[in-house]
Amino acid sequence: MSKFKKIETGIEGLYIIEPTVFEDNRGFFMETYSKRDFEEIGITYEFVQDNHSKSSKGVLRGLHFQKEYPQSKLVRVIKGEVYDVAVDLRKDSATYGKYFGVLLSEENKRQFMIPRGFAHGFLVISDEAEFVYKCDDFYHPGDEGGLIWNDPKIGIEWPLDKIGGVENIIQSEKDKKWGTIE
């Protein structure tokens, strides 16, 4: 039996993953990825790159995607808490333009499996957060695409009350300039 529970999100291929956590008076232990156990729950990716970022409260990264070299991502938070979002950009999908958001934190230890064909972003709602993720293709500079975080056609309900409102969002200059979904 797999050490991971796959939770449906209502969008094909997009899952929340809950690991089995072994806790005692010393702390905890968990596997965050096992190719064999992931295959048991129907998730079969060949990850080739791991990334790690640290951000402060109010940082909103995204919504990013790769145009010609899309990436599947297995994301999780190892410190703090974020609201993580994936937007379906697969034009042939019944859920094109729909999003799903989930709280990821060091406490809940949940992971988010995002397949190719999605824009991805997150908002840090704790004082700081460390975010780690696996990708099934390498990053290709110059192949980046993005969507503006508050695209009215998508209608993401970001938990802005947890950071003090929209005036407290911190973004890169690049992320401020993305357009809307087609």
Is 120 within 8 Å of 70 (Cβ atoms)? no
Query: Closest Cα to residue 143, out of 66, 71, 88, 86?
Result: 66
64 part of the active site: yes
CA 49 – CA 71 distance, rounded (Å): 10
Strands 118-124 and 60-66: antiparallel
Q: Which of 15, 83, 99, 133 is catalytic?
A: 133
Q: Which of 15, 45, 64, 99 is catalytic?
A: 64
Alpha carbon separation from 116 to 48, 68, 113, 160 (Å, rounded)? 14, 11, 10, 27
Residue that the structure tokens 């094909």 belong to = 12
Asked, as a colleague might, if the bond just before 89 is cis with ω within 30 of 0, I would say: no
Which sequence positions are flagged as catalytic? 64, 133
